[in-house]
Amino acid sequence: MSELEIPPLWCPIEPAAHPMLEQIEKEIHPWLASFDVDERVKLRGKASQSAAWACRVAPEGDIARLQIMSDWTCWAFVTDDQYTDGGPIMDKPHEWNPLFCKLLYSMANPETREYVRIPPLGAAFRDLSERLERTTSPARFLEWVSAHYIWLLGSACSVSDRSVKRIRSLDEHLIVGPLDRAEPLSTLMIQIAEDTELPPQLQRLPKVRAITDVAHVLHSFYNDLASYSHELHQECPQSNFVHVLKIEQAISPQDAIVEAVRFLDRLMLLFVALRDELNKSAGTELRRYLRQLSNKIRGNSDFQRIAARYTTVLDVKEGITSISENPTDAMYEYSDHPSDNQLSAPFSSISWWWDQLGR
């Protein structure tokens, strides 16, 4: 789909996947089709291969909850393509904002019928909400609701930027980008799928908050690397890390990709260092959480480097194209060493992450 070349990435984390991946994937498409979606949505759903993502980032998950997580991921990918990163309201915040506020309200208040205002995807979302509420505690469900508000706040920023053709700064994107990529929400969903919970007193430790932020940036910016060409075709690169680098540093798209890989390798060095320090004194709950962050980073990378969602153009103006369900060529390979081995902060806004080393 692109002549741009992504250099090898350094990701020294062992891969893992849930053994029921293929079975879970087979259940997604009849579920999506049951909501009377059109052929374009079905193709987008098939290209998402969302169980391949969910089963890699949560390899120790309960199969029933992994099915919900996979169905949700398919829904989220299609919704992004239909409304946020593509479609007629992708640059119209005056239409996008109230639409998604109504959707969020209906999630927490099933007595309302506002979800029908996003047919047919609103009904699919209602189904996901009801299934999750039946399988988890009220407290966890409310966390899930709140995490959607955080995700869609980030998405609203992207829609607003797009409406005035604004490119955010690098410092802004380090904050907004992970929200728009649903990082807090997807980390919560991994914990729900694997039936774990990190106590609030551990969540609030500065070093735990730092490594969580590092993992979220790694996950979301790996996604930006893989989806850059996809988003160029969607005409929505404004919220992509590679594009932000290109504009702010006034460099070519290829040079921006190289710089993005250098930054991510440097950030991976920090993740490994923080993880190793925390593991020295961590109890069972924190060790499991650190393993979940590791699986999230590597599982996402393994998924997206060959995902049909990013190797197939489904959103060009000319219409639908065919998809390759099993691409053979990965968009990038792995390196056995980092391209940048500096263990220091490249941007002042995130220097506090490096300040946690040795503490």
pLDDT of residue 316: 43
Q: What CATH number should be reported for the domain holding residue 257?
A: 1.10.600.10
Q: Do residues 20 and 55 touch, judged by C-beta distance below 8 A?
A: yes
Sign of CA dihedral 142, 92, 47, 154: negative
In a domain, 6, yes or no: no
326 within domain boundaries: no
Range of the domain at 304: 17-321+333-355
- Count structural domains, the chain: 1
Phi/psi at 223 (5° precision):
-60, -40
How far is Cα 81 from Cα 95, in angstroms, rounded to an integer? 16
Does a structural domain hold residue 142? yes
Contact in structure between 196 and 290 (CB atoms under 8 Å): no
7 within a domain of the structure (yes/no): no
Confirm whether 328 is domain-assigned. no
Please report, in angstroms and rounded to a whole number, the separation of the first and last CA atoms in the chain: 45
pTM of the complete model: 0.93
Q: What pLDDT score does 262 carry?
A: 96
In a domain, residue 8? The reply is no
Is residue 4 a part of any domain in this protein?
A: no
37 domain-assigned: yes
**What phi and psi, each to the nearest 5 degrees, are found at residue 23?**
-65, -45
State the Cα angle at 107 between 101 and 111, rounded to 5°.
Answer: 105
Question: 235 in the Ramachandran plot: left (φ > 0), alpha (ψ -120 to 50) or beta?
Answer: left
Residuewise pLDDT in 10s, the chain (359 residues): 457 899 999 999 999 999 999 999 999 999 999 998 888 888 889 888 999 999 999 999 999 999 999 999 999 999 998 899 888 999 999 999 999 998 898 888 888 866 556 667 888 998 999 999 999 999 999 999 999 999 999 999 999 999 999 999 999 999 999 999 999 999 999 999 999 999 999 999 999 999 999 999 999 999 999 888 877 876 777 889 999 999 999 999 999 999 999 999 999 999 999 999 999 999 999 999 999 999 999 999 999 988 877 766 555 444 444 444 555 578 899 999 999 998 888 888 899 999 999 98
* Element containing residue 180 per DSSP (H, E): helix 170-180
Q: In this structure, what DSSP letter does residue 196 have?
A: -
